[in-house]
Amino acid sequence: MKKTFLYEDHLSHGAKMVDFSGWSMPINYGSQIDEHHQVRNDVGIFDVSHMSIFKISGQNAEGYLRYIFSNDVKKISSKNKALYGLLLNENAGIIDDLIVYCLEGDFMIVSNCATKEKNEAWYQRHASEFDVSVEYIDNEGILAVQGPNSIKVIEKIFGGEASSLNTNECVKVDGVMIAKTGYTGEEGFEVICENKYLRKIWNSAIESGAKPIGLAARDTLRLEAGFCLYGSDMDESVNPHACGLTWTVDLNDEDREFIGKQAFLNINERDEQKMIGILLKDKGILRPGYEITHIDGKGTVLSGTFSPTLKKSIGLARVDRTVEQSGRVKIRNKELEIEFVSPRFLKKI
C-alpha cells in the first residue's frame, strides 16, 4: 500500500489507518465527530497527499486546458488563482472533478486519487494535439489547513501575504504554494510543496493550534458544505446538470471548443434529474442507495451521513424534478419523511 510522506506522523498522533484507493490514510485520530467540530470551530490540518498532482508545461498549456476542462482557465491565466471544474468525456459525462491552479504562469492540476490512472491516460491522449507535456508529480504533498482560525496558523508559518489571500487565490512563499481553497466549507488553505518541507509545516501548524483531522471528518465536513464527491455523487454516467455543477461549464466564450461541449449543449436541463440536499426529520441515518419517492417521481440517496453540526442526518440525492419540498425515503422496512433543501446545509445553521 502507498504511504504519504507523513505516514509515521499520523501513527504517532494515534491515527487509525485505512486503505483508501490503495493509500494508507488516517480515517480518524480518535473521534471523527470531535475532529469535525474542531474544523468548524477552530482549525484542523489534513494530510491529503494521496490526491494527484499533475503539472502541465509547454507553450500552449492554456489552450490545452481550455480544451480538456469544463471551466475556462482563461479566467485564471497569469493571475495566481485556482479554478474548480470538470473533465468531461464526449458525452458530457464526468470523468473527474478537479482544481486547476495557475501560479506564476505555470499550470497545475489537483484531482482525486482513485481516478489517477484514467485521468493520466486522458491527459496524455490529448497532450500531443497541443504539444504540451503532462507530468504526474510524486515528490510533492498536499496539506489542508481549514477552519476559522486557519488564517492565524497560515500567517504564523508563511506570513501575511499568504494569510490575506482571498478565496481561490494562491501565492508562492519560499518554494511552497499556498492557496485559499478547501473542501470543508470553512475558511481555509491548501498547501502544496515538495515532500521535504511537509513535516516542518505539519509540525508548525500543530504547534500553532491546528489538530490533525482524518478523512472521515473530511467527508462529513464536505457533505455539510454540499460539495460533491467523485464516485459517490457523480461519475461518467451523469452530466453536470444532474450534479448541481452546471456552473462549472463555462460557455461565455462561444468560440471555445472543449470536450463534451456539443453533447452538453444538446442536453435539456429540464429533462435531467437534479441534485438536492435532503434532511431526515426522524431519527436514523441516510445512506447511499436508499430509495426516495415524491409526488412527481423518485430518486436515490448518493451520499448520506450524520451531520455533527445539525445533529441530524443529511444527504445528497438525485431526484426527478419537482417543486415539492419533501418526500419519503425507505430505510430498511420503514418509509420516513425527508425535507428537500439546498445542498448548502451550512447556510441553514
Partner 1 sequence: MSEIPGDLKFLSSHEWARLEDDGTVTVGISDHAQDLLGDIVFIELPEVGKEVEAEGDAAIVESVKAASDVYTPISGEIIEVNSALEEQPETVNGSPYDDGWFFKVKPINVDEMSDLLSPEEYSEVCED
Regarding 69 and contact with partner 1 (CB under 8 A), the answer is no
Which run of H or of E encompasses 102? strand 94-103
Regarding 197 and contact with partner 1 (CB under 8 A), the answer is no
| From 7-15, 24-32, 103-111, 258-266, span contacting partner 1 (CB under 8 A) | 24-32
- Please state, in angstroms and rounded to a whole number, the distance separating the CA atoms of residues 342 and 278: 8
In angstroms, give the least distance from the CB of 219 to partner 1. 8
Site string for partner 1, 152-191 (x = CB under 8 A): ----------------------------------------
| From 29-37, 119-127, 176-184, 205-213, span contacting partner 1 (CB under 8 A) | 29-37
HEC string for 164-222:
CCCCCEEEEECCEEEECCCCCCCCEEEEEEEHHHHHHHHHHHHHCCCEECCHHHHHHHH
- Please state, in angstroms and rounded to a whole number, the distance separating the CA atoms of residues 134 and 106: 12
In angstroms, give the least distance from the CB of 11 to partner 1. 16
255, exposed or middle or buried, with CB in 10 Å at 0-12, 13-18, 19+? exposed
Which of 42, 347, 305 is CA-nearest to residue 188?
Answer: 42
In angstroms, give the least distance from the CB of 26 to partner 1. 13
In angstroms, give the least distance from the CB of 283 to partner 1. 6
Helices (H) and strands (E) in the chain, counts: 9, 20
Q: Which is nearer to partner 1, 128 or 333 (CB)?
A: 333
Regarding 216 and contact with partner 1 (CB under 8 A), the answer is yes
Regarding 229 and contact with partner 1 (CB under 8 A), the answer is no
Which run of H or of E encompasses 274? strand 274-280
Regarding 17 and contact with partner 1 (CB under 8 A), the answer is no
Binding site for partner 1 (CB under 8 A): 27-28, 31-33, 216, 220, 283-285, 287, 305-306, 308, 313, 332
